[in-house]
Amino acid sequence: MDRFGVHTTSFKFRMTGMVACFAFAASAGVATIALGFAESGIKNMLGAQEVSMVASAAAYVDQDLDAKQQQLKAVTERLPLGEAPSPARLQTLIEEHSSLRDTFFNITIFDMSGKLVANLNDRRAVGTINVASRPFFRDTVRLHEGVISAPFLSLLSNKPVVVVTEPITDMHGRLLYVIAGAIDLQRPSFAGQIDAMYNGTSAHLFIMSREGVVIYHPDRSRILSRVDAASRSWGPELNHALKASPGWSEGPSINGPALIASETLHKTEWIIGAAYPVQEAFAPLLASRHKAMAASGVVAVLAALLGWWLTWRMLRPLSQLRSHVAQITAGNANIEVFNAKTRDEFGQLSRAFYKLSMQRRAAEDDLLRMATTDALTGVHNRRMFDEILPQAVARAGRNRSNLALALLDVDYFKTINDTLGHAAGDAVLVEFARRLRSCVRLTDTVARLAGDEFVIIFEQVDDTGMVSQLGEKILEAMQAPFQVEGKALVVTASIGIAVKTRTAAAPLEILRAADQALYGVKAAGRNGFALNTVGQERVVAIEPSLEGQAA
């Protein structure tokens, strides 16, 4: 309790009590050593948190770029097979996909000579430029697959951009065109999410290429600048991150000494980094150090013994804080230990760590959810399915149990998109996914692979009879008309089910067997399911839906 207006719980009061009884040399030495140990432990913890935050941001940017590539690929897959589409058809195609404007700054299509044949932002620009010499065009033509370009200044918009490309081929695999989606580096889609990680602090994130070209920076005028000797005046933290190995270290920044963490993006090998000023990160601790050193100048030499005892008592909260850091690092405690109730500066410092840790956990949870969930339907995405299937196969092998994998396609989905529009197609996919979740067991896994292609992993299935019941249940769930934009729409599904018995089988073998069964259903007229036992290399049963049998 405070007495006579003096804050007896404050660190300043305790330090004043110590310096009144402790010799100058002893007080300064003890305070410096104790705070040095604490700073070292806290610095290691903050550095580890910085690395975790940067790794989470890297995963989010990787996922964002992958989603953009998948969206471009989905556009190319909607082109009809057969003869090469005309430039006018390509212009119409990109203008019909309104979602492209939300994802990209601009969409362009080039023929094999590099000539611009379609432009989403301005049709008048068609034929005005040629990109045959651009590395992104040459790489796409050479590799016959999509690439993510290095940053450059756009000829069309005079803006700094990164380009995501996909090849457009005919039914024989012959390359016809290259479609490119431009990302405006002054307003990238991932900026809001990664900037929110350090909201309220002077810390900042940056992204640069392996060659040192700035891709993202809080100062937009620095984009496309090259990190070299001259950049030390405005971005010494970028120079440090470019030379350092992934991880964290202490180095210079535009705001003074900083904890600098960096990580490499898997998809592009770009370097993403963060600089957290040391003065801000250690503000409570540095304030305590200054108070201790100032008070040490007026201590009495004769009170050395009493000062030692007071120092031990006063630094016990700091020792507890260091102990909490060590326990969390070793995995023996959670961040709740930082939520201290004490009112002094050590309590404030501990609660500051607690708040920072909670923000990091929330950011990691959000990034994990976005990285593993299909944004449209809410079921698992392809990335999560690729992780779950090998685990399910391994469990089935350990338990010597059966496993089934179902591949599902919405029948005539392209016709729905072409006749009713993509908004109606998206509504069908959402309802289709909802019905799938409602008719499977809690132990089953539902995921969307791409477009109208879904997959279900059935674990712990007794025999093919049980699998047939599950297939019939799914078909039955789809019989009720879908209500799309006020219209009743009949939607059916084709299902190929692969059954893995107790014999060993790789995930790719199971997928291949399911795909073979799905092909059999489509060949038999769709709207049904087929069973295929993994390893038999043949479809063992094709069952049309009850509705199909009645017809």
Query: What residue type is 541 in one-letter code?
Result: A
Closest CA to 415 of 514, 483, 492, 479: 492
* Maximum Cα–Cα distance across the chain: 105
DSSP character string of 419-430? HH-HHHHHHHHH
Contact assessment for residue 28 and residue 293, using Cβ atoms and an 8 Å cutoff: yes
In which residue are the tokens 């940017």 written?
61
For the question of residue 452 being annotated catalytic, the response is: yes
Closest CA to 252 of 275, 227, 225: 275
Counting beta carbons within 10 angstroms of the beta carbon of residue 180, is it exposed (0 to 12), middle (13 to 18) or buried (19 or more)?
A: buried
Counting beta carbons within 10 angstroms of the beta carbon of residue 515, is it exposed (0 to 12), middle (13 to 18) or buried (19 or more)?
A: middle
Contact assessment for residue 215 and residue 208, using Cβ atoms and an 8 Å cutoff: yes
Buried/exposed 363-376: b ≥16 CB within 10 Å, e otherwise: bbeebeebbbbbee
**How far apart are alpha carbons 39 and 281 in whole angstroms?**
11
DSSP character string of 495-544? EEEEEE-SS---HHHHHHHHHHHHHHHHHTTSSEEEEEETTS-S--EEEE
Side-chain half-sphere CA neighbours of 228 within 13 A? 6
Which residues are bridge partners to 168 per DSSP? 177
Give every CB contact of residue 472 below 8 A, 6+ residues apart in sequence: 529, 543, 546
Pairing assessment for the beta strands 258-264 and 482-484 based on DSSP bridges: unpaired
Contact assessment for residue 272 and residue 54, using Cβ atoms and an 8 Å cutoff: yes
**How far apart are alpha carbons 270 and 292 in whole angstroms?**
44
Task: List C-alpha distances in Å: 291 to 35, 106, 298.
Answer: 12, 57, 12
**How far apart are alpha carbons 177 and 56 in whole angstroms?**
35
Side-chain half-sphere CA neighbours of 110 within 13 A? 23
Catalytic residue among 452, 462, 463, 515: 452
Contact assessment for residue 465 and residue 446, using Cβ atoms and an 8 Å cutoff: no
Closest CA to 368 of 384, 391, 353, 356: 384
Helix 283-296 / helix 11-19 crossing angle, nearest 10 deg: 30
Catalytic residues: 452
